[in-house]
Amino acid sequence: MKRCQWVPEHDEIYVHYHDTEWGVPVYDEHKMCEMFFLETFQAGLSWITILKKRENFRKAFDDFDPEVISKYDEVKFETLRNDAGIIRCRHKIRAAIKNAGILLKIREEYGSLVEYFWSFTDHQIIVNQDDDIKTTSELSDRISKDLKKRGMSYVGSVTIYSFLQAVGIINDHHTTCFRYQELTHGKVESLR
């Protein structure tokens, strides 16, 4: 089976993520929140680091419920800072708490985070038909700018582009990858 060139074939976690999750359109609110928080923690790190700590993140961050996260106090902050199972960067933890509150405001305004993120493309998947590896786009620039204007942190254009790839708003599988063919020709069910 031919996969995207960036997938380390020897790494089962990465292969499974690529084959079953990366680039599949997400319309589920909970899944959208999870991927958003994980991507903001990934900033500056390798994605495999996040994947290996994913279950720990789910437990530590109350299954990525922004209503709960937005109410974290100093005791919870210190608990997270001392949790070796997650990324313990104080700035990223503070940002997650602040960003959760902003996500709730976006949800109030748009009805859901799913609606907010998909509205930037009129609910259309952006399919890249070349195999150039991109890290930003006009779309990620626009969303990043909007999120920063709302007061979010760790939402630069590179982070947002990676998020858009992960949740299938952008299909960036290489054209020779079996997932590109499946996703482009609708053979994969969306994550609802």
Active site (catalytic) residues: 17, 39, 47
> b/e per residue, 146-182, with b = 16+ CB within 10 A?
ebeeeebbbbbbbbbbbbbbbbbbbbbbbeebebbee
User: What SS3 class is residue 26?
Assistant: strand
In contact, 103 and 66? CB cutoff 8 Å: yes
Q: Which helix (H) or strand (E) holds 95?
A: helix 90-110
Q: Which helix (H) or strand (E) holds 171?
A: strand 170-171
Handedness of CA 131, 176, 36, 125 (dihedral sign): positive
CA distances from 175 to 3, 32, 63, 118, 156 (A): 9, 25, 34, 23, 27
